[in-house]
Amino acid sequence: MRIRIAFLSGAFFLLAGTASAGDGRYMWSGDWYLKVGATGFIGPKYEGASDRMFQAAPLVSLGKAGSSVRFSSRNDNMSYGLLDQGGIRAGVVGKLIFERDEDRSSDLEGLDPVKFGGEIGGFAEVYPTDWMRLRAEVRQGIRSHHGVVADVAADAFVDVSSTVRVSGGPRLTAATSDYFDAYYGVNNKESAASGLSTYDPGGGIHSAGLGAAITWQATEKLETSAYAEYRRLMGPAADSSLVRERGSRNQLLVGLSATYRFDFTVP
């Protein structure tokens, strides 16, 4: 059984060194938290795969204490809120992307690898009620692909006790043609090498699905979670010869995670 190690939570951001008005403090000054942990899950070997494998990944989350964050999801990428006012947050977001090649699966033999890189962009989230969060991310690919990816999610959450929270809701992903070309396109050369039919995708809806989680606050700083995610590939992803001839439109992932929070102050 192969274990793939990848950062799911995205990249850290280097913040500008300008002082904030009035108090001479810097943007990074104040109380912060750092959450570190790990997750183990069973999911598709690659986007669109029919075969699944056990995978493990470290989890890293960084944020400022006192933020108005009321809910977070494992799908949230690393973000920093530039606007943080009550029920509305917005700011910058980033994600690391690790290489995808034929070592991941024999299905990918003959296809150009997806290079190591990332995505960077912005996010916004609102709380229309005390028990629901809406979040959207729009990210531009860097090196791995040159497309734009947009994720939209709605999560309802309820605390069934002082330490246990249940949450879940729908997810939707869309992307431009450059993204689909990197992950799902098959040119003439790749077709001859892989045996897959040629495919030149456009942009559109990538997938729609549902996610759910049960989170247990074991101690003040230790948090554990059990989660499941289902996505149905659509549009350019579903029409790809990689998915039609070797993969599956149905993508299911289930797993467990645990994180520990460290609190610190930056002058």
- Hey, which residues does 170 pair with through a beta bridge? 210
Locus of tokens 């296809």 = 111
Q: Cα dist. 245→239, 241, 248 in Å?
A: 10, 5, 9
Confidence band for 61, pLDDT divided at 50, 70 and 90: confident
Quick: pLDDT tens for 28-46: 677 888 888 889 999 999 9
* 48 touches 115 (CB < 8 A): no
CA distance 257 to 56: 10
Which strand (E) or helix (H) includes residue 243?
Answer: helix 241-246
- End-to-end CA, the chain: 46
Distance of CA 2 to the CA centre of its chain: 22
pTM of the full structure: 0.83
Residue 152 in contact with residue 114, Cβ under 8 Å?
no
pLDDT tens-place string over residues 83-116: 878 789 899 998 989 899 998 899 999 999 999 9
In terms of C-beta density within 10 A (0-12 exposed, 13-18 middle, 19 or more buried), how is residue 149 classed? buried
Residue 265 has pLDDT above 50, yes or no: yes
Please check the confidence at residue 63 and state whether its pLDDT lies above 50: yes
Contact (CB, 8 A) for 56 and 40: yes
Assigned token pair, 8: 């799911």
Check pLDDT > 90 for residue 50: yes
Poorest-pLDDT segment among 6-15, 205-214, 253-262? 6-15
> What integer pLDDT is reported at residue 21 of this predicted model?
43
Quick: pLDDT tens for 201-218. 999 999 999 999 999 999
pLDDT of residue 114: 94
Could you identify the residue written with the tokens 């030149």? 200
pLDDT at 6: 37
